[in-house]
Structure 1
């Protein structure tokens, strides 16, 4: 039997008590209604996975400008808040806890996919040159419009409003998405951020926007309900953060500044620089969540066992196995992921993965 003993220890995360150290990692599923309201199937999807304890939702845009993909949810209109309230109620009814991930995609967008069809916004007018799926098929992401200094402050306000809206919907907290090539990550990357104001140039200036967003959200809903996700050196969205020396300097500064805000957790999408991960752990006062790319079943507890993490979020294992906690507890078999249905819409490949009892 695979030994995962360390994940079954309880853990206190801010205001919530977790009975184990597993969680649901945030994963885009493209099932929202056209107006960005979580669809009727979303409550079922998340409640099926409530035994994971901490459920971090798919990326959820804080504004119309924050949307990049088709059918992703928002958290800035009354209708969207009502949709997330149904999700939160369903999760709470099953004993789980919900953190809404706030994701502004920045330049990883196409006007065909947004409600206003405007040019995407970004730190600088530099295209990511990425293929973006639209209703008419794949199209290249266009050159974005650089945000003015005043507009950067407006986006901070959008995150503030989105966090308040998530709590109004009954969520237990929010995760700020500063990773994976999206807007906050774009500000950190020199090849995407060539600004000459206080948000560009030095590593301190490039980190300023992320810190301001985190501070604003924590002020609104409490630091004990605010987590943040980072992905040092992850080259998604065509970002280049420089060599290992540059990446370590950037993230050691950023995390040291974020640590002053006493946020409830730091969620690291980790690509393999264990020296950096160790130093971030030493600098961070509260909980650490770590996801390693390609981590297999027998490696789920590795970072917890090494003292580098407190919680191990699960991605594909949780997506394909709504009862993954029971399966891991009993060393049961795992369903295989169906990649064809990840973003296909509808219930197939979303809420119809079989339970262990049905296998």
Structure 2
């Protein structure tokens, strides 16, 4: 499912159906690269899609969120680059054990590697699984977490917080970098005249070099226009920028309905544009949801009422409801201002039956 949403840099695509293993791919248009949220079954992703991945974010190591690592490795291991993988504490050891189950005696010096980051409440521990060394794990560093951000590039940041699913589970929020935007009313109020200086200001903004950068502007002076040198481009931009909230994507799966989890989601997802959230059970199976530490429709309705995202996609419905997905949508209470986006029940190809293939 491809979503046409108000993103400037990100192109989110859900490569799974309502009942399939959840897979959210975010393509970063200016880079032509992608990041993947969760890594269950990914055999149906085109090879060029898998090869576009710079980073993979794994919520937790249950099979339906983590079993695709072998497929990922098969597609990228002979590329001479490093893929970053983020997950909860213990993910590096699990990656090491998964890949140690294979023989790598034909490895080459040009093979790619994984840089695995274990995201804890207070620290991030990084490890290198080196392809040329048969994906042997080597500890790199452990650094303190100063905020929620765990990954960034020139066009987005990824934040993460820990939730409870009877094991630690990460919830993620992807936020686009604020775009350069000027308020023409503020320009006029300050007597500023449009000119090449705005292009210079934008270039420095995009390069992250505005702080302390001098800029020569044009300002009205009587009946004419005069040049004026400003010593700090960042201070100038703060005065004339047009205020807007950057678009964002929230991803929540496999969490218990508890006050602690709700508080975490409330703080992390505040102002989110697109919320992609599990809804594993219908309201009548609330107790099953409680026992398995999942959400049911009434739980999701509570979250929607508090967050009020612009768009909402329910996912990860239990396969017990095959053919009954209409009941889910009837039980969801989407608040005013939120658009509900529907997934088909399945996207991944169904298994073949013996009678559908040629006989020997």
* Smaller-chain TM-score bracket: 0.3 to 0.5
- In the superposition, the TM-score normalised over structure 1's length comes to 0.34
Which protein shows a greater Rg? 2
Bigger helix share: 1
Normalised TM-score (structure 2): 0.34
The structure with the largest strand share of the pair is 2
